[in-house]
Structure 1
Amino acid sequence: MVALSAVRSMEDRAAATRRIDARVVGVERILEAASAALGEQVSRPIDLGGSTRSSVLRCVTADGGTVVVKAYQDAVGFAAEVAGLPLGGGYGPRLLAVDPSFPLVVMSDLGAAPSLADVLLGESAREAREGLLTWARTYGRIAVAGAGRQDEWERSRAAHAEDGSGWRPFRDASDLAEVLPLAPPGLDGELAELVASYGRYRVFSPGDICPDNNLLTADGMRVLDFEGSGYHSAFLEAAYVRMPFATCWCVFRLPSGLAAEIEAAYRKEVIAVHPDLADDRLWETGVRLAMVTWTIHMTWVLLPRARKRDRPMHHTRTPVPSERQLLRYRWSRLLAELDRDGSGFAAGPG
């Protein structure tokens, strides 16, 4: 395993090579808007990667410090981030400034540190286990920090975006028509049961809890992305462990017993929000429903393009599964889980 200081050094050097030329179209506008929102000049941007939905820049302030500026393609992710960051319990960046007209946010800089994905792809089983347990406890504690604040989150989000529907893995069978052109009888009713489960035992979540969105800093684990923040079933979070990592590229089989240990760490925290989750039968049923939900969602996302060509789940990181490998694993893992106690869905395979 590479020492953490060496990882930081390598990331700093890599970031320096990605320094953005201010002549690039759009960057100057981002810097101007961020400076106006923050009330001081920001400059010397470094591209932190972002996504197709947003641009993320580390910028230097007038006093020589650094901040992170995130500019969005639409108001939906922006509104969720603005609403979610104050509810993060200190595990995410501090929200420093907002420009709804751009839209963009200025956040505190969590610095350069290895992500949980880096540790999982490293050589130390001990560090991987400790990282996973910290990850589970962190999201459990974020759920506790956000308890009783859903109205506050909804008001803030509504103030910055007209679309109030929020994200859902899917709504009904019509969403799945592309991958299931011949839906089996009874599928609509079973999907309705899954959709109804989204609202049970809700907890606050930053949204995208994949390993690469979590930094292992000197102050503990810190969460990078609140763009998908909101309130959803605790079971959707718990299923990330049992599957593992429902929507992520960094997916490998966990050693026997480790997944159960990590799941128990998350469950122990969220029981403080929902004491009923101490009931083993209730917990098992809920997690299995969530596994069905995530498996169908990833089939909907990946199958249309995986049919045409198999591609790696990440374009630069290795080792990594291909899309077809991931889909096969998702379904085999789900069917094994449903068969474990004879439960299942009549309209599903098997």
Structure 2
Amino acid sequence: MTLVAHDRIDSVLDAAQDVLTRRAGSQVQIDDPEDLGGSGRSTVVRFRVADNPVSLDRTVVVKAFDDNSEAGQVLREIASYRYATALPTVSRPGPQLLASDLDTRILVLTDLGSGRGMLDQLASSDIDDIHRGVSAWGQALGRMHAATYGGEDDFQALLRVSGRGGVGPRDVADDPVFAGIGGEASESVRRADEVAAEVGVDVPDEFRRVLDSGLTLFDEGRFRAFSPSDVGPDNILINDDGVQFMDYEWGAFRDATLDVAYALTTFPAALSDQGVAHQVELESALVDAWRSEAGPLWPALNDDTTLGNLLLTPRTLWTWLGTYWMLESDTSGHDWALHTSDPRVVTARWADLAVAADAMAGGDVVESVAGVAHDVQRALQRLWFE
């Protein structure tokens, strides 16, 4: 947890109190700050609501971006929370937005409580406990995707409304800082030759086409739905209401398979020893739970071969991006669950990708992914561990 200076917390308290008061139309007072950390770009603090003229909970959580944060980045998070808050309760993926202000870069959210982090759940020595967590994760993703399919126009409208200060959707889309992980993925593919040369492997044209296909899922795809973007275990809280996704800074509409593949790529590193032994089973549990919610909307997902091929492409892209970050990119400031500085994790992801591809029916794409995955795993093993 990042410790925040008292003067910073005091300024966050004053700004949040003002935002809540304007939102409520009468004075709201908050106190008893509890520092919840933040991403480095933001401060997150829990406050007790001392004077409550409206129907607020006893506590709220305030997220305050620093002065160096771009207005468009704050806009995207405000619009994402507004969009998610308007969903039916059962489909809502995380906390509700109570109030916000783009000028002061403040968001006031409902407090989800302490709960249990998904990282703790995955580290359990009880395989049934891990299985429940992974299945709940998949179901929550499926509910969110099913509830938001077809809602992209509404989300774009919220971006326009939220950006009253001259910052709109075009600014968010055109500035590279707002491309988020999609921009990073595009850069990793553009520099594929550099990555391949450093690893010491050949990357055939068929494999490059898989990476290019993965990139199209950010702008196209058959299963476009809302995503907070970083849906890894680091950003998941489990409370009495189930799985809650945190942090909507890069919220966007994109193909839903990107989220499922992101989960498959990021959760194994957090598993206990017993969980690692059951990893393939847990992967199937996550995918099946997601499909149980999203399948009725998208019948194509009910075919195992089709679904396996759909998930292989984004999983390959995520594995590639994580390797690029490790080898070729300035990783300062990255706080994505996908990012790691541990060579064991990067190597294990290629091994997992190889296992997934080997288990699938043949074909040029599958064979290419399997071949490169095995080659990269062996090359990284030599590079880092021999």
> How does the TM-score come out when normalised to structure 1?
0.79
- C-alpha distance in structure 1 between counterparts of 2:245 and 2:211, whole Å: 31
1:70 counterpart = 2:63: yes
Change (3 A) 1:268 1:154: same
Change (3 A) 1:196 1:221: closer
Of 22, 29, 41, which residue of structure 2 is paired with 1:41?
29
Q: Could you say which residue in structure 1 is the equivalent of 2:46?
A: 58
Of 190, 193, 206, which residue of structure 2 is paired with 1:174?
190
Q: Could you say which residue in structure 1 is the equivalent of 2:212?
A: 192
SS in 1 for 2:173: coil
Of 302, 307, 318, which residue of structure 1 is paired with 2:326?
302
Q: CA deviation at 1:303?
A: 2.6
SS in 1 for 2:243: strand
Query: Are 1:306 and 1:324, in contact at CA under 8 Å, matched by a contact in 2?
Result: no
SS in 2 for 1:171: helix
Query: Are 2:319 and 2:349, in contact at CA under 8 Å, matched by a contact in 1?
Result: yes
1:326 counterpart = 2:345: yes
1:224 counterpart = 2:246: yes
Q: Could you say which residue in structure 1 is the equivalent of 2:354?
A: 335
Moved more, 267-276 or 111-120: 267-276
- C-alpha distance in structure 1 between counterparts of 2:122 and 2:83, whole Å: 27
**How many residue pairs are counted as aligned between the two chains?**
319
Q: CA deviation at 1:242?
A: 3.6
SS in 2 for 1:208: coil
SS in 2 for 1:55: strand
SS in 1 for 2:61: strand
Opposite residue 326 of structure 1, the aligned amino acid is V
Query: Are 2:83 and 2:158, in contact at CA under 8 Å, matched by a contact in 1?
Result: no
Q: Could you say which residue in structure 1 is the equivalent of 2:75?
A: 79
- C-alpha distance in structure 2 between counterparts of 1:203 and 1:180, whole Å: 33
Q: Could you say which residue in structure 1 is the equivalent of 2:307?
A: 283
Of 335, 351, 368, which residue of structure 2 is paired with 1:345?
368
Q: CA deviation at 1:140?
A: 0.8
1:267 counterpart = 2:291: yes
Alignment RMSD: 3.1
Change (3 A) 1:305 1:226: closer
Moved more, 186-195 or 281-290: 186-195
- C-alpha distance in structure 2 between counterparts of 1:91 and 1:174, whole Å: 33
- C-alpha distance in structure 1 between counterparts of 2:210 and 2:5, whole Å: 52
1:164 counterpart = 2:173: yes
Unaligned 5+ segments in structure 2 are 22-27, 53-57, 85-90, 376-386
Q: CA deviation at 1:180?
A: 4.0
Q: Could you give the per-residue CA deviations for residues 203-262 of structure 1, whole angstroms, max 9, x where no partner exists?
A: 22222222232222123232222222222222212223443538xx63563614232122
Moved more, 159-168 or 223-232: 159-168
Query: Are 1:41 and 1:62, in contact at CA under 8 Å, matched by a contact in 2?
Result: yes
Query: Are 1:19 and 1:46, in contact at CA under 8 Å, matched by a contact in 2?
Result: no
Q: CA deviation at 1:100?
A: 0.3
> How does the TM-score come out when normalised to structure 2?
0.73
Of 7, 19, 22, which residue of structure 1 is paired with 2:6?
22
Q: Could you say which residue in structure 1 is the equivalent of 2:14?
A: 32
Moved more, 130-139 or 202-211: 202-211
- C-alpha distance in structure 2 between counterparts of 1:28 and 1:131, whole Å: 37
- C-alpha distance in structure 2 between counterparts of 1:221 and 1:339, whole Å: 31
SS in 2 for 1:48: strand
- C-alpha distance in structure 1 between counterparts of 2:3 and 2:260, whole Å: 38
